[in-house]
Amino acid sequence: MQENLDQIFVLLKHWIVSLVPAPVQPYLSVLLSVAAIVVTFPLLFAISVWLERKILARIQNRLGPNRVGPFGLLQPIADAIKSLTKEDIVPRTADAVVHYLAPLVLVVVAFMGFAIIPMGRNMVLVDLDASLLFYFAMGASAEVAVFMAGWSSRNKYSLLGAMRAIAQMISYEVVLLLSSVTVVMMTGSLRLTRIVELQNQYSWGLPHWFIFTPWGLAAFVMYAIAGTAETNRSPFDLPEGESELVAGYHTEYSGFKFALFFLGEYLAMLSISSLGTTLFLGGWSAPFAFLGWVPSWIWFFSKVMLSICVFIWMRGTLPRLRQDQLMNFAWKFVLPLSLVNLIVAGLWRFMGEGWQRWVVTSAILIASYAALALAEQRQRRIGPRRYRYAE
Amino acid sequence: MSLVFWILAAIAVLGGLAAMLLRSTVHCALALTVAFAGIALLFLNLGAQFAGFVQILVYVGAVAILLVFAILLTRGSEPPTHGVFSTTWLAGLVIAAAVFAVLGSSVLSSQRMLPHESTAPAAPVVEIGQALAGPYILPLEMIAVLLTAALIGAVIIALHEKEGEQ
Amino acid sequence: MLGEGVIKGMAETAKNFFQSYFKSDRMTTVCYPEARIPTMHAARTFPFLVYDGEDKLAGLRCTSCQICEKECPPKCIFIEKSTDKKPDFTGRPQFYPVRFEIDISVCMSCQICTEVCPFESIKMDSVFELSTDDRFGGLLLKRDDLSKPNSYYHQIHPDEAAAVDAGLAEEKAKAEAKAAAAAAAAAAKATAAATQPAAGAGA
C-alpha cells in the first residue's frame, strides 16, 4: 500500500499508456511526463508567489494579501488575470523579433532544466548519463535570453541591466559548477539518479546526505549563494533592482511577456532549489530511516519548498549588493573557497573512514574561510579610484 | 540519414548562413548561436551526450556571450555606415571553396560508420574521464597550460591598458 | 567575522516572522475597513457648521456675515444671505444662510475660515471617507450636510469645544450682566424721576 502510494504517479502513467495501441505508447509516455512537469511546476510557481508575498509581509510587520480568497490563496490567480489582460506595449524602435523571442527562450530553457531531476523513486523524465551537465547547459543558455531581452528593448537602462545580469551570471556559474563538481567527484557519476541513490543510505538512523559532511556543507552554502546570484534574486538582484534600473532587462515588457519573465525567474529558482535538493539534501530520500513510509515525492517537494522559503527569507533580510561588491565577492572569496573545497573533498576520500577526516577537513575549511574573510576585510582602504569608468 | 538528421542539419546550415547574411551584427551573433545549438543537437543525435552538452555549455553559454559582449562594447552594434560586403569577395570565395574541398574530401574518404548503430551511448562519461586521466593526460595538461597562459595574457594586457591610461 | 551579520539578520527576521502571529507589537497592521485607528484629536479635514440644540436651522450659529467667504484663499465657500431674520440661540434676530456650500475638491484645509469666524460657527471636521463617484456634485457639500450638532463637535475635538463653550458662556454672562445693569440703571432712573416730581410738588 505504501509502495503504491510512493509510485502512484508512475502507476497512473503506466495505466494510461497501456490504454493506447503499441506504436503510440512511447510518444504518449513522454508526452504525459512532460505534461506532468508543465502542470506541476507552474502550480508550484503560483504557490511560491503566494508564499513570497505572505512570508515577506510577515517579516516586514504586515499582513500579506488577505482579501482574495481565504488567506489570499487566490491572489496568484488574480495576478495571472491581471497580467493576461494588460496591454502588450512594444517600443516602436525595439527589435520586434528578438523582443518577442526573449521571454520564450527564457521560459523554454527554464522548463528544460526540470527534465532530469528525479522527483521521486523512478520519477525522472529522462535518465541521462550526463544529466548534471545537461542542467548546467540549460542554465548557461538562459543568459542568452537575458541578453536578447536587454538588447532588443533599445533602452540604455535595459542594456545596462542585461550586461550586469550576464556578468553576474557568468561569474557565479563558475562557483555553481565547482560546488557541484565536488559532489560529482565523491559519487563518481554525473547521473542525478545515482547521486540520490547514494544519499539514500542510513547509518544509525541518520541519512548519508552530502550536506551532513564538512565539504558538503561548504559546497551547499556556496551553491546556495551562487544559485541566488544565478537567478538574480535578492541580495544579488541589482540587474532588476527596482530602485536603480527601473526593472533592468525587462523594463520594456508588459502584460503577458512580463508574466513570462516572472515565470521564468521563479522557475529558475525552483529549478536551482530542485538541483540543490538532489545534490546535497538527498533528493527524494527521507530524513530518518523510520520515516521511509512517507512517499518519496512528498519529501522532494517539501525540501524544494523549504529551499524556496529560505530564498524568500534571505530576500526579506539582506540588503542588495552593489555590482562591484558582488563581483569581488564571487571572484575573490567564493571561488577560492570552492577550489579549497575541491581539495578538501579529495582529502576526505583518500583519508578513508574514521573521525580524523572529519577533523582535518573541517579545520582546513574553517581556516581558509577565516583567511579569506580577513583578506577581504583588509582591502577596505579609501584611496584613489582603482576602477575605470567605461568609455 | 534520418529525417531528424536532415532537420538538424538544416538548422545548423541556415543558422550559419544567417550569421553571414543578416544586416545587424547582433542578429548575426544570435544566428550563430542557433548554429551552435544545431551542432550540439547533431552531437546528441549521434549519441555523444557529453560532447553535445559541453557544446551547449561552452559555445552557447560562454562563446556566444563573449561574442555579443565584444559586439556591444565596440561600435559593432550600430547600423553599418559603409557596405558590409567586402571588395575582395572573389579571393574570399576562392579560399572558402578550397577549404570546403579539403574538408569534404577528408570526410568522404574516411571510414563510414553504419547508420542506426547501438542506442547506448558509445562513450559514457566515465570512459571519457578515464581516457582524459589516462592515455590523454598530456594533451589535457597542455590545454590547461595554454588556457592559463591566455588568461594571464588577457589580465596583463588589461593591466597595461590601465597603467597606460593612468 | 564575515557572515556574522548575515546570521544575526536572518535570526532577527525569523523572530519577526514567528512573533508576528501572536505579538501585537510585531504586527502593527490594522485591517481597514473592518478595524480603524482612532483619529488624533487635532486632526482636521474639511469645515463643518455647528448648531446648538436640536433643530438644525433654528440653532445654527452662522449669521451669514460672509467673512469666511471673503477670507477663504481658494474661494471654495459659497454663501447666499437670507432676506429675513430668525432668532438665534440667544433669542436675538439674526440673518441666516439660505445656501452655504463648500467645494471640498478645492478646499485646502487651511482653517482660515475657522480662525476669522466671529461667531464660532464654522469648525474643522475630521471625516475623510468622502469618496464619491460624482466628481462635481458629489464633492460640493451643502448647508444641511455641513451642519452638525455641538455634541458632535465635543466628540471630535473635546478640548476645543469645551474652550469654545466656555468662551460663549462667558460672553453670554457678560451680555446678561450688562443687560441687567442697564435695566437696573433704567429702573433707578425711572424711580428717581418718579420721586423727584413728588418732592417738587410737596415743596
CA of A74 vs chain B CAs: smallest distance (Å): 38
* pTM passes above 0.90: no
Let me know if residue A209 belongs to a domain: yes
Partner residue opposite B68 with nearest CB, options A134, A147, A173: A147
Grid cell listed for A77: 490567480
Asked whether the beta carbons of residue A137 and residue B56 sit closer than 8 angstroms, the reply is yes
ipTM of the complex, rounded to two decimals:
0.83
Q: pLDDT of chain A along its 391 residues, tens only?
A: 778 888 888 888 889 988 888 888 888 999 999 999 999 999 999 999 999 999 999 998 888 888 888 888 999 999 999 988 998 888 888 888 899 999 999 999 999 999 999 998 888 898 888 899 999 999 999 989 988 888 888 877 788 888 888 889 999 999 999 999 999 999 988 899 999 999 988 887 778 899 988 999 999 999 999 999 988 887 888 777 655 556 677 778 888 898 998 899 999 999 999 999 999 998 898 888 888 888 889 999 999 999 999 999 999 899 888 888 888 889 999 999 999 999 999 999 888 888 888 899 999 999 999 999 888 877 666 667 667 766 5
A95 assigned to some structural domain: yes
| Residues A259 and A84: beta-carbon distance below 8 Å | yes
d(CA A294, CA A3): 9
CATH of the domain at C59: 3.30.70.3270
Does A70 reside within a domain? no
What is the chain A residue with the closest CA to B77?
Answer: A151
Chains contacting C with at least 3 CB pairs below 8 Å? A
Does A390 fall in a domain? no
Q: Please enumerate in sequence order all residues whose Cβ is within 8 A of that of C138, keeping only pairs 6 or more positions apart, or say none.
A: C132
Q: Which residues of A touch B40 (CB under 8 A)?
A: 137
- Set of cell numbers at residue B144: 590547461
How far apart (Å, rounded) are the C-alpha atoms in residues A380 and C67?
Answer: 67
- Tell if the CB–CB gap between A59 and C9 is shorter than 8 Å: no
Tens-place pLDDT, residues A96-115: 889 999 999 999 999 999 99
Is the CA virtual torsion A112, A115, A117, A119 positive or negative? positive
Question: Does a structural domain hold residue C142?
Answer: yes
B47 neighbourhood in chain A, CB within 8 Å: none
Q: Is residue C20 part of a domain?
A: no
Domain containing residue C122: 47-158
- How distant is the Cα of C112 from the closest Cα of chain A, in angstroms? 38
| Domains identified in chain A, total number | 1
Radius of gyration of chain B (CA): 20
Question: According to the model, what pLDDT value does residue B119 have?
Answer: 54
Residues constituting chain B: 166
Please give the mean pLDDT across all residues of chain A. 88
Specify if C164 maps to a domain: no
Burial pattern A193-202, b for ≥16 Cβ within 10 A else e, equals bbbbbbbbeb
Q: Provide the number of structural domains found in chain C.
A: 1
Minimal C-alpha gap between A190 and chain B (Å): 8
Q: Which of these, A109, A102, A107, lies nearest to A150 by C-alpha position?
A: A102
pLDDT in tens, B58-89: 999 889 998 888 887 776 666 666 766 778 88
pLDDT surpasses 80 at C189? yes
Q: Tell me the average pLDDT across B143-155.
A: 92
Instruction: Summarize pLDDT for A265-290 with one digit per residue, the tens.
Output: 999 999 999 999 999 998 898 888 88
Residue A225 covered by a domain: yes
Within-domain flag for C176: no
What is the domain range of residue A356? 88-377
Query: CA-to-CA distance for B129 and B138, rounded, in angstroms?
Result: 14
What pLDDT is recorded for position B116?
A: 58
* Residue A34 identity (one-letter amino acid): V
d(C-alpha B38, C-alpha C4), whole Å: 48
What is d(CA A34, CA A218) in angstroms, rounded to the nearest whole number? 34
| Cell, residue C190 | 425711572
Residues of B with Cβ-Cβ distance to A128 under 8 angstroms: 49
The answer to whether A162 and A248 are in contact (CB under 8 A) is yes
pLDDT for B76 equals 63
In a domain, C95, yes or no: yes
Determine the CATH number of domain B3-78+88-135.
1.20.120.1200
**Residue C1 to residue A62, Cβ atoms within 8 A:** no
As a whole number, mean pLDDT of residues C14-18 equals: 89
Q: Does residue A345 belong to any structural domain of this protein?
A: yes
- What ranges in A188-289 are assigned the alpha helix state H? 192-199, 214-230, 256-280
The nearest CA of chain A is from the CA of C88 a distance in Å of 51
